[in-house]
Amino acid sequence: MKQLGCAIFVVTVSAGLFGQCARWNPQTDNPPPQELAAFLQQNETVANDDPCVIAALDILGQERATAYIPELIKFLEFRRKFYWEGTSFKMQPVTEIDHYPAAMALFQMGKPALPALLAVIAQEKPDSLRFKNAVNTVMLIHREDFPAGVRFLRHAALSQEKPENHQNLDDAVELAQTFCSKSTRAQCAAAARENTSPDKNP
């Protein structure tokens, strides 16, 4: 798996987002977070690349509307396609996780999103897209200190009482290490082997 490095996050202005979505008027509307969250609650089963869902997820992330993290978590598998993909446009490439607006919104919210991401990792199957995107997002949040991200997951694994949840977190630790940069691999490996969990996770 490719190293995470630093995600190339594509920021789109609100008017551009809403311009592709017939639900909101880009000239007159500035929907509050609760309206965006209510829209997502009503549209949990939608086809990928729906412009209104992308707009709602992106704006909630830009607004850092942490109260609506549970709504964002439900869309971890929702995938967008950037308009230049498959064309002759020479645009800056994006990473795979950039295609998942809910993951990028949770990344923007930072550490407040970690408990919800941890719950997904503990409960989902390690080969699922939700699991992989959750681990990727945890490491994005720790992008300036990859070993801290591995340590966060390792300590979470040690605190699990259910064997299946513990195993899921162990698998997450293994996956997380693949995102560590060359200069931090040894520190990440050491964090993955820690055997004591502090009273509080980082």
* pLDDT at residue 178 is higher than 80: yes
How far lies 5's CA from each of 126, 135, 184, in Å? 22, 14, 11
Q: What is the pTM of this model?
A: 0.84
pLDDT at 202: 45
Which of 68, 72, 91, 48 shows the shortest CA–CA distance to 137?
72
Q: Which domain holds residue 193?
A: 113-202
Q: Based on the fold, state whether residues 169 and 181 are members of the same structural domain.
A: yes
Q: Kindly report, residue by residue over 102-144, the tens digit of the pLDDT.
A: 999 999 999 999 999 999 999 999 999 999 999 999 999 999 9
Q: Based on the fold, state whether residues 15 and 102 are members of the same structural domain.
A: yes
Q: Based on the fold, state whether residues 14 and 100 are members of the same structural domain.
A: yes
CA distance 64 to 40: 16
Q: Kindly report, residue by residue over 9-25, the tens digit of the pLDDT.
A: 334 434 455 557 777 76
Q: Based on the fold, state whether residues 95 and 1 are members of the same structural domain.
A: yes
Listed residues 109, 128, 154: the one ending a domain: 109
Q: Based on the fold, state whether residues 18 and 105 are members of the same structural domain.
A: yes
* Structural domain count, the chain: 2
The mean pLDDT value for 49-72 works out to 91
Which of 171, 177, 29 shows the shortest CA–CA distance to 39?
29
Q: Based on the fold, state whether residues 91 and 173 are members of the same structural domain.
A: no
What is the identity of the amino acid at 180? C
Question: Residue 163: is it exposed, middle or buried by C-beta count within 10 angstroms (0-12/13-18/19+)?
Answer: exposed
Listed residues 56, 77, 109: the one ending a domain: 109
Q: Based on the fold, state whether residues 120 and 184 are members of the same structural domain.
A: yes
Q: Based on the fold, state whether residues 74 and 103 are members of the same structural domain.
A: yes
pLDDT at 46: 72
CA distance 136 to 96: 10
pLDDT at 18: 55
Q: Based on the fold, state whether residues 101 and 2 are members of the same structural domain.
A: yes
CA distance 87 to 35: 34
- pLDDT range class, residue 168, cuts 50, 70, 90: very high
